Chains A and B, each alone.
Chain A
Amino acid sequence: MAESASGKREEFEREALVHLDTLYNVALRLCGNASDAEDLVQDTVTKAYRSWDKYEQGTNCRAWLVTIMRNTFINQFRKESKRPSSVEFDAVQDISVFEEVQERDPEGSFFHLIVDNEVKRAIQELPEEFRLPVVLSDVEGLSYAEIAEILGLPVGTVKSRLFRGRRRLQQRLYEYALEMGYIR
């Protein structure tokens, strides 16, 4: 544990602030706009610094930080928009797009024709229950166990949300590709 204040700060910079890009990307996906995302990153880092004593050295710092971010987001940024979870009741399309495109584009090359912003928007439009597992796994490369820790969910739940999130996203991007004529 760091002795001096500057030691603590240096340690925090070394261990925690290397994950600033991850925090920013998760914040962007949580908030949907850069300005709120920046505030969320700032608030998260300040909170993390203040409770740095509670961080156990050698454990997963990135997961610890994202957990703080998620809680901060829930407490501050989402107060006004408390919508009920629709996950359990929604008839989720669990069929892979592969079934529909296997004759025409089995490699899924149409995905690559879709512009970045459209993909970002499709991710953004996923219900949060699905969006976080998808972002943490596919964009940030976290393991199921790390995501489960961050979200406070059993690994099995993370798995099923991640899979369903991917399927939804796939379906959405496929529909977009059809609209744009990228695939016939």
Chain B
Amino acid sequence: MNAFWQSLKGRMSKQPGGIDCKGVLAKLYEYIDGELDEETIEKVRVHIEKCKLCYPRYNFEAAFVRFLGEQGRASVPDELRRRVFESILEEESSN
């Protein structure tokens, strides 16, 4: 059984996309953030698609980053907005 897992592991780290799991892991956030060049994006994309170890990791991290992005951005309170515009008007007339 152990040998089976070893060989499975071996097969999976065989660099689909021309990049190994370690390399993908190191670039995962940059991939999610759209900060990689096109060639690397493609390598990572292919790897993630084919690698049973990396795919769920990617999925989890992407969900987490998405979750943070969905965190309610506050809108400027009307009162503050009014104050800001007024202060600019004041600045303008004082010059």
B81 to chain A, nearest CB (A): 6
Lowest 4 A-B CB distances belong to which pairs?
Answer: A138-B68, A98-B60, A24-B76, A9-B92
CA distance A109 to B69 in the complex (A): 15
Q: Which stretch of B11-19, B29-37, B40-48 is in the interface? A: B29-37
B91 close to A (CB within 8 Å): yes
Chain B residue numbers with a CB within 8 Å of A13 are 85, 88
Residues of chain A whose beta carbon lies under 8 Å from any beta carbon of chain B = 5-6, 8-9, 12-13, 17, 20-21, 23-25, 28, 34, 38, 41-42, 45-46, 49-50, 96-98, 101-102, 106-109, 111-112, 116, 119-120, 123, 134, 137-141, 143-144, 159, 162-163, 166, 169-170
Q: Give chain B interface residues in 50-95, CB to chain A under 8 Å.
A: 56-57, 59-61, 63-65, 67-69, 71-77, 80-81, 83-85, 87-89, 91-93, 95
- In the complex, the answer to whether A42 meets B29 with C-beta atoms within 8 Å is no
- In the complex, the answer to whether B72 meets A116 with C-beta atoms within 8 Å is yes
Count chain B residues whose beta carbon lies closer than 8 angstroms to a beta carbon of A.
Answer: 34
- In the complex, the answer to whether B84 meets A107 with C-beta atoms within 8 Å is no
CA distance A182 to B91 in the complex (A): 52
Chain A residue numbers with a CB within 8 Å of B57 are 96, 98
CA distance A122 to B20 in the complex (A): 33
Please, which residue of chain B has its CB at the minimum distance from the CB of A39?
Answer: B80
Contact flag A25-B73 (CB < 8 Å), given A5-B95, A9-B88, A17-B84: yes
CA distance A98 to B89 in the complex (A): 52
- In the complex, the answer to whether A139 meets B80 with C-beta atoms within 8 Å is no
Please, which residue of chain A has its CB at the minimum distance from the CB of B69?
Answer: A138
- In the complex, the answer to whether A17 meets B85 with C-beta atoms within 8 Å is yes
B79 to chain A, nearest CB (A): 8
Chain B residue numbers with a CB within 8 Å of A107 are 59-60, 63
Which of A20, A28, A108, A143 has a CB less than 8 Å from the CB of B64?
A: A108
Chain A residue numbers with a CB within 8 Å of B89 are 9
- In the complex, the answer to whether B80 meets A41 with C-beta atoms within 8 Å is yes
